[in-house]
Structure formats: C-alpha cells, structure tokens
Structure 1
Amino acid sequence: MQIKINGKQVDLKFGVKFVRELDKVAGLDLNGASFGMGLTKSIPSLNAADPAVLADVIYSAASTNNAFRPSQDDVDDFIDNYEDDLEKLFDDVIKEMSQANAIKVALKNAKA
C-alpha cells in the first residue's frame, strides 16, 4: 500500500518489522519492561476508527520505507489534513493488514 505524505510516496508494509515497530509505539510497557501487545491493543481501536491509532499504524508501517520515513508529526498532520474519505483510509489500511501474512491470523482472531 502506498500513500503520499508531504508530496512523497510512502510504502506501508505490514510485516514482522511493522509489528515490532508498533510494539515500540503502542505496546504495553510496565515499570520499564516491554510486553509487546501493540497489535493486540491497536486492532480494536483501529476498527473503532480511532485516528491516533491509525496514525500509529501508518507510522509503524512506514518503518521500512528507506526513501522517506515520515515522522509521527508528519503522519498526524497527514490524517488531520486528509482531504479524501477518512473512513475509506481506515478500511484500506485494515484490508491491507488483513492480507499481510505476518498479521492476518491476529486480525482474524481479534474479530472472533
């Protein structure tokens, strides 16, 4: 999946590296110990159309983008100023995630 942020193409990839980055951004941290859980915490919020979680997901999915990796502020601004149908962006991201081999089982189990 590709989006354009600040006039630059950004590839979003939803693989293992995405999950690790999402754990850093949105995971469970208790007294300095990281427990991961970024994906598990984010799926219900993404399905509920939480824009902050969408920003975290996009930011994490862009982590492997070598040409240009947007900052968290860039992604927040992208969502704040999104001119197309934001609901469709949520749907497109969820659809891409559901097709990614590394996380499709987690998404399927979250819906059960």
Structure 2
Amino acid sequence: MQVKINNKEVELKFGVKFVRELDKVAGLDVNGASFGMGLTKSIPALNTADPAVLADVIYSAASTNKAFRPSQDDVDNFIDDYDGDLEKLFDDVTKEMSAANAIKVALKNAQA
C-alpha cells in the first residue's frame, strides 16, 4: 500500500519490522520495561476510527522506507489534512494489515 505524504510516495509495509516499530510507538511500558503490545492495543482502536492510532500505524508501517521516512508530525499532518474519505483510509489500512502474513493471525484473533 502506498500513501502520498509531503508530495512523496510512501510505501507502507505491515511485517515484523512494522510490529517492532509499533511496539516502540504504541506499546506498553511499565516502569521502563517494554512489554510490546502495540498491535494488541492498536487493533481495537483502529476499529473505532481513532485517528491518533491510524497515524501511529502509518508511521510504523513507513519505517522501512529508505528514501523518505515521514516523521510523526508529517503523518499527523497527513491525517489532519487528508482530502479523501478518511473512513476509507481506515478500511484500506486495516485490509492491508489483514493481508500481511506477519500479522493476519493476530488480527483474526483480535476480531474473534
């Protein structure tokens, strides 16, 4: 999946590196100890159309871009200024995530 941020095409990949990055951005941290859980926390929030979580997911999925990795602010502004159907963007991201081999089982279990 690709999105255009700052007039640059950004490929979003939802693999293991995405999960690791999402754990850093949205994971559970207790007294300095990281427990991951970024994906577990983000799935229900995506289903309720939480724009901050959508921004975290897009930011994390863009982590493998070598030419241009948008900053968190870039992604937040992308969401704030999105001129398309934001509900469709949520649906498209969720659909891409559910097709990704590394996380499709977690998504399936979260929706069960």
Match of residue 87 from structure 1: 87
- Note the C-alpha offset of 1:49: 0.2
Match of residue 22 from structure 1: 22
What SS is found at the alignment partner of 1:4?
strand
Segments of structure 1 that go 5 or more residues without pairing to the other structure are none
What SS is found at the alignment partner of 1:18?
helix
Match of residue 33 from structure 2: 33
Segments of structure 2 that go 5 or more residues without pairing to the other structure are none
Task: State the TM-score, normalized to the length of structure 2.
Answer: 1.00
- CA distance in 2: counterparts of 1:30 and 1:57, whole angstroms: 21
* % identical aligned pairs: 87
Task: State the TM-score, normalized to the length of structure 1.
Answer: 1.00
Match of residue 64 from structure 2: 64
- CA distance in 2: counterparts of 1:2 and 1:84, whole angstroms: 14
User: Which residue identity is paired with 2:95?
Assistant: K
- CA distance in 2: counterparts of 1:66 and 1:51, whole angstroms: 25
- Note the C-alpha offset of 1:36: 0.1
- Note the C-alpha offset of 1:57: 0.1
User: Which residue identity is paired with 1:3?
Assistant: V
- Note the C-alpha offset of 1:59: 0.1
1:2-13 equivalences under 5 Å are: 2-13=2-13
- CA distance in 1: counterparts of 2:92 and 2:33, whole angstroms: 33
Match of residue 100 from structure 1: 100
State the aligned residue count.
112
